[in-house]
Structure 1
Amino acid sequence: MKTIDRFFVPSELGEVFRKAREQREITQLDLALETNLHQSFISKVERGAFQANRDRLQVLCESLELDWNQLDQYIQQAPDDELDIQLLLMEIEHEISIGDADLGLEELRRLEETRKMGSESNKDVLTPTFHYLRGRHAEKKQKWHDALEFYALAEKTVRQFEVNPKS
């Protein structure tokens, strides 16, 4: 059985992390120095809609005195909240476009895996977006043929969800 090393942090849980840090009256930089984690990681966790490494999150929980085993009880909404998913997709697109394209693709693959559980990937309304982002990655890598194929797949998949109005 494969161990999941990533944990999705919805925006509501990010708020819990932020409040716990503020309650200790320390800055993100102070917390970064204390935990040996990057300040940018802490910032992303606090904003939420972020897939974080489980080990790093556990270090953060320990430092903020949050019970790792109780994280789901700190929030009221499910982690697959559509707004969080949309924000995560925007973050992935940003990473592919102007950050590390390969890291963005890796994040996209992880998100796809979590979305595929128990459903056919073609039926997921996010599938066109996944194809589009794969096309953006291929374009960034100057793999023009692959980019066109992914963009065509995105368009084809969008059409599956279109409702044809009656004439």
Structure 2
Amino acid sequence: GMIGDPSGKSEERNLLDADTLAANLAGQRAQLERLLDFSEGPTGALVVNNHTWLGQMGFLEFLRDVGKHLTVNYMMAKDSVKSRLEDRDQGISYTEFTYQLLQAYDFVHLSRERGCRLQVGGSDQWGNITAGTELARKMGAPQLFGLVAPLLLDASGQKMG
């Protein structure tokens, strides 16, 4: 994406240019088409781009309407943030620190607009997913749920992908 998720990363992700991002999205779609049915209709899979709703929301509006609901204390308690704060050489940028707010708001938005009630991810996403369930509770959205699976690791124990 345009903003890197710090989960499971020991250093800041590089920001992608628009062409690389578009190529990555096309590749992900092609992979998903081998597993999911994207036909029209109520059971067809759907891929959405969060830039559709986040790109229309101004920074001050986001802080006021979304950021006010989760405290810095809550956000700093997440493993993805704590591990980066403990590394004095690396740290965490404001961009990556606020990633969990973006993913949390995506979950709330999708629950309201598409009826999405379950977010599935790797175990490294637990903090981001629970931020979404908490944000939903604080914003008066329907109760949301998360499901995580263990990460696939390479021979050296590093996250694949």
Fold match (TM-score > 0.5): no
TM-score (norm 2): 0.30
- Structure 1 or 2, whichever has the larger Rg, is 1
